[in-house]
A and B are shown apart, each in its own frame.
Chain A
């Protein structure tokens, strides 16, 4: 569950032509961002709807670092005002995310960062970013053997001998 705390008015910039949100990262960095930018996040949108019911100002505490949060904001800023098919609830199912050149460059980061971004995108309910990250991770393991996949993603073979040699694993064509 997200943590919402009341904040002093002075923490949030004053009202202007566009509404501003205060996002607080897990390393306690306060990041002010325009609501329009973050409207791609269904999670943030739902939070903002909740705010409107009260007159109190709020900050949204998020369970990831400012570094990751800034990357997500960069993504949302880039696609500000764009319609992305995957963000549509009726859009194509997973596995069909389109290849976007900008996304490929944006996600050209190390494995752990990529995993942090996808987790944050999932938390914030940004389907298009989840899709692009998932595609990037799938590309990392494309054409690799099982052993290579383990090495790339930092996992060990933890099967027992019986599990490893189960009958269904013998269909190699």
Chain B
């Protein structure tokens, strides 16, 4: 029989017969109820000419679409049975509020993925404007517009944090347009941008910011002659909720502005400023600090006025601070430190910039004031790549002197704090005798490790050998945190691994770094495993079981693998899964795309 002569039911049965060989059949109940519809459909399909065939196509497409809707309804009903569907919307919103983007530096499209899972998720996510108010400028502009529309009138957080993301004119327009409703504005862009582009933003900074709670602005400009300044009347003096302020690379900071009065966190840095920082006199800056009673964390980098001939007459009480960081000219730092009073619990992070022009008097004066505040818990040396050989030798001397001059009572404290930052970086060979400086530190460290709680070593060409590291780490009985990058990270890995193996083989009970709880390794290279299913090759092996880990020398609570190169996302994920069980907290991040 010619198939075109069959009615709908017969046609379906015939199709069933034909599809038997493939094992796929239409259930009889569906065949029964669908036959009537198919019969109607059959009557709609007519003609063998082009127009008739086109019409049949359209009707069949419409039918397919209708059936897809039916299927969609069936799946929706099925989803209602799923346990996740029994969660109330507010819990789903809570889950969606966590950024589920992998930690590989990719832009945050997680909400888009969320809205594509199922109808309920889309409905809940789109129906919650607060989810959409956190806009990362690194994402596609169309997506930003979608997010803005869905955010409705909620306060916004606008972020530009990845180094490779560049601010566009549209981004500036977005910030300017929505400025009064911005709660958090973080524009820490390390790319060079056109001043003309951002001048619109600067103009906006003179208007009130009633909702602003945190403001971070740091842009590196190409044209040094047009270096920007923050307006004196920043936010028209009206930013009542402002608690966190971070500015980088501005030639002027408005210390007298009333918007500073509620700050909890203040960070000003101008490390690469080609022009003199237009700073206020020191007494004006100290007055400003007195007007910030809620301050808890301060970091000042290259923004103090040059030291004057006379010290300030009054001392500002900053005992409420939990952290104070200061990196500046040695004389300016000395004068500032003399003018403030810190609590014994305050973490003090001090770095100095000095040159041949600074005589021994400057060094002695600085040492004197720092030693007077030695009870502060952090004491950080500056980055060596900025130093001449003489300065580096000064630092070696400083460290030895600092240790030898510490009061006995201080040395006996269990938590006698001392932090050493040591950068064996690529810049070092430009100055003096880098090998000698590196060797001096390497030789000096083992005898001084008792005081070191946190060791921060970065280096490429000048990295110490595994044996040198072993000498240092064997004496690191009080070390609690270790950070290393590049080749130094590799050698640290080997040294620590060797220590574990060596202890296991010999059965010795004395271990290296018994107090080490935090390890940060940057720029390490991951490789995919040789065979699928093998663990990810990684130089640093933690004992696999919790029990063994407790017995081993390593009591790591925090492991941070920063900017791991190599390996696919899956390799990193596998590593993360394997390590997460072994340490209290784990961070694994990929390098920025322009670094790879």
A-side interface residues toward B, CB under 8 Å? Answer: 93-95, 97, 99, 101, 104, 111-112, 115-116, 118-119, 122, 130-131, 134-135, 137-139, 141-146, 149-150, 153-164, 168-173
The 3 A-B residue pairs whose C-beta atoms are closest, nearest first, are A143-B102, A95-B97, A138-B98
Closest CB-CB distance, A127 to chain B, in whole Å? 9
Q: Would you call B98 and A157 a contact (CB within 8 A)?
A: no
A173/B101 in contact, CB under 8 A: no
Taking a contact as CB atoms under 8 Å apart, the answer to whether B68 and A142 are in contact is: no
How many angstroms from the CA of A171 to the CA of B119 in the assembled complex?
Answer: 18
Kindly state whether residue B140 has any CB partner on chain A within 8 Å: yes
Q: Pick the contact of B69 from A122, A153, A155, A160 — CB < 8 Å?
A: A160
- Please report the C-alpha to C-alpha distance between residue A153 and residue B79 in the assembled complex, in whole angstroms: 10
Q: Give residues 65-99 of B contacting A (CB, 8 Å).
A: 65, 68-69, 72-73, 75-76, 78-79, 82-88, 90-91, 93-99
Q: A115-B83, A115-B84 are in contact. Are A171 and B65 (CB under 8 A)?
A: no
B112 at the interface (CB under 8 A from A): yes
Bin the interface of chain B by size.
Answer: 35 or more
Chain B 92-121, CB-CB to A under 8 Å as 1, else 0, gives 011111111110100101001111111101
If A112-B83, A171-B143, A173-B143 touch, whether A119 touches B118 (CB-CB below 8 Å) is no
A135 closest partner in B (C-beta): B98
Residue B584 interfacial (CB < 8 Å): yes
State which of B65, B82, B94 has its C-beta within 8 Å of the C-beta of A154.
Answer: B82
Q: Is A173's CB under 8 angstroms from B107's CB?
A: yes
Whether A168 pairs with B146 at a CB distance below 8 angstroms is yes
A-B contact pairs, 8 of them (CB 8 A): A112-B83, A135-B98, A138-B95, A143-B101, A146-B113, A155-B121, A156-B75, A169-B112
- Determine the chain A residues whose CB is within 8 A of the CB of B95 once the complex forms: 134, 137-138
B480 on the A face (CB < 8 A): no
- Binary interface profile of B, 571-596, with partner A (CB < 8 Å = 1, else 0)? 00100000010001100000000000
B53 within 8 A of A: no
Contact A146 B146 (CB under 8 A): no
* Contact partner, B79, options A101, A119, A142, A158, Cβ 8 Å: A158
Contacts of B128-157 to chain A: CB distance below 8 A: 130, 139-140, 142-143, 146
In the bound assembly, the distance between CA atoms of A137 and B97 in angstroms comes to 11
- Beta-carbon contact of B113 and A131 below 8 Å: no
Chain A contacts for B113, CB-based, 8 A:
144-146, 149
Assess whether A155 is in contact with B140, with CB atoms less than 8 Å apart.
no
Q: In the bound complex, do residue B82 and residue A146 qualify as a contact, i.e. CB atoms below 8 Å apart?
A: no
Could you list 6 further interchain pairs (A-B, Cβ under 8 angstroms) beyond the known A94-B94, A119-B86, A171-B143?
A158-B75, A159-B116, A159-B122, A160-B69, A163-B119, A171-B140
Tell whether, in the assembled complex, residue B78 and residue A156 are in contact, meaning their CB atoms are under 8 Å apart.
Answer: yes
The reply to whether A116 and B83 form a contact with Cβ atoms under 8 Å apart is yes
Q: Is the CB of B116 within 8 A of A115?
A: no
Choice from A130, A143, A155 contacting B82 with Cβ under 8 Å: A155
- Which chain B positions have C-beta within 8 A of A163? 72, 119, 122
Q: Which of chain A's residues have a CB closer than 8 A to the CB of B109?
A: 171-173
Assembly CA distance A100 to B95 (angstroms): 17
A164 CA / B88 CA spacing, docked (Å): 24
- B55: interface (CB < 8 Å): no
User: B78: which A residues are within 8 A, CB to CB?
Assistant: 156, 158
On whether the beta carbons of B88 and A138 are closer than 8 Å, the reply is no
How far is B76's CA from A158's CA once the two chains are assembled, in angstroms?
A: 5
